[in-house]
Structure 1
Amino acid sequence: MTDAPFHQVAYVVTDLDESVRHWADVLGVGPWSVWTMGPDVVTEALYHGAPARFGFRHALAWSGSVQIELVEPFEGPSIFDDQLTARGPGLNHIGRLADDHAAASAALVERGFTPLQSASFGASGDGRFAYFGSPNGDSIVELIHPPTRRFTPDYIYPVQEG
């Protein structure tokens, strides 16, 4: 299996709206699309192999060819809440796209990665994300299969004219 290049870097934050404004206004990254991903949207959820209900807000923006993701957990157990409890906000994971999500996930497990959390998402319900801990414990990799239809963002910042 040939791995797709990593294209996403994600950070856990304690205040998503404040972080979006900081990244846009101070760091010049944006525009940001912000979504609320509650248990009604995040389905077939697993946390450390067991069924779970979790929710988070997240924002996505591009900086060149790198997608930046900001994540603020708000409900249930999650790797994001785990990080905030253990060490606070900061870098959480790196992500890559996976056309065949099941095969890519199996390949990571075969290489010694540990499944941490996964779910289906999107307006079409056919999107999939899964997080895996690396064999040496120093990183988390996300495999992302985007949905064919996304929900409309809660908001976009800064507001785009035109």
Structure 2
Amino acid sequence: MKDGQLVQVAQVVEDIDKAMKHFWEDFGIGPWDVYEYGPETVQESMYRGKPNTQHYALAVTWVGPIQYELMQPLDGYSIYNEFIEKHGYGLQHVKFYYSDCAKAVEEYRKKGYEVIQSGRIGEDEFYYLESVDKVGAVLELGNAGEIPPPIRTYPPQQ
């Protein structure tokens, strides 16, 4: 991957299992790796400058060179809930790869994009930027670091 490359498109959904089922059965998109995260598993998790206590489920699959992600808030409050309240369910963020996230965050900050949520899962860093009013979606910067294995897959492996 090279810096600035689009690596992920993500949407917030009401029911992650229902969404995976439709993508798999109707479009052949999958299989999906499913994860659940919260303050116990996300290091340095911050939401608008305060510790983020939200639990959420996510599922990912590859569509060509792009990872497609589904996000479902389970409890608490974060940028996912903010987005749902303002825009409903649907496309929420796009993610760009940077080998040096700190440097990229600073460059975007100079352009007026502030970090609104961030954290680290395993070796994977992520930074969501305040960008919906400028580009129509949240921008995420990440280093595509290694993460722990999924808790399950869909469809279940035979």
Using the size of structure 1 for normalisation, the TM-score is 0.87
* Cross-structure match for 1:99: 99
Give me the CA root mean square deviation: 1.8
Q: State the distance in 1 between where 2:81 and 2:38 align.
A: 14
* Cross-structure match for 2:124: 127
Equivalent pair of 1:13/1:89 in contact (CA under 8 Å): yes
Q: State the distance in 1 between where 2:104 and 2:140 align.
A: 11
* Cross-structure match for 2:134: 136
The 1:3/1:147 distance shift into structure 2, 3 A limit, reads closer
1:9 is displaced (CA, Å) by 0.6
Q: State the distance in 1 between where 2:151 and 2:45 align.
A: 22
1:63 is displaced (CA, Å) by 1.1
Q: Which has the higher helix share?
A: 2
Equivalent pair of 1:42/1:54 in contact (CA under 8 Å): no
User: 1:32-71 alignment to 2 at 5 Å?
Assistant: 32-71=32-71
- The number of equivalent residue pairs is 156
1:155 aligns with 2:152: yes
Q: State the distance in 2 between where 1:121 and 1:25 align.
A: 30
Using the size of structure 2 for normalisation, the TM-score is 0.89
Choose 26-35 or 132-141, whichever is displaced more: 132-141
1:59 is displaced (CA, Å) by 0.5
2:39 counterpart SS class: coil
Query: CA offsets per residue over residues 64-112 of structure 1, 9 Å max, x none?
Result: 1221000001122211111222232100010012211111111111111
1:129 counterpart SS class: strand
* Cross-structure match for 2:23: 23
Q: State the distance in 1 between where 2:125 and 2:45 align.
A: 10
- Aligned AA (2:124): G
The structure 1 segments of at least 4 consecutive aligned residues displaced by more than 3 Å after TM superposition are: none
Equivalent pair of 1:55/1:74 in contact (CA under 8 Å): yes
- Aligned AA (1:5): Q
User: 1:108-127 alignment to 2 at 5 Å?
Assistant: 108-122=108-122, 126-127=123-124
Query: CA offsets per residue over residues 47-67 of structure 1, 9 Å max, x none?
Result: 112222222100000111221
Equivalent pair of 1:42/1:55 in contact (CA under 8 Å): no
Q: State the distance in 2 between where 1:137 and 1:147 align.
A: 26
- Aligned AA (1:129): F
Query: CA offsets per residue over residues 97-147 of structure 1, 9 Å max, x none?
Result: 22111111111111111211101112xxx3211100227263211111233
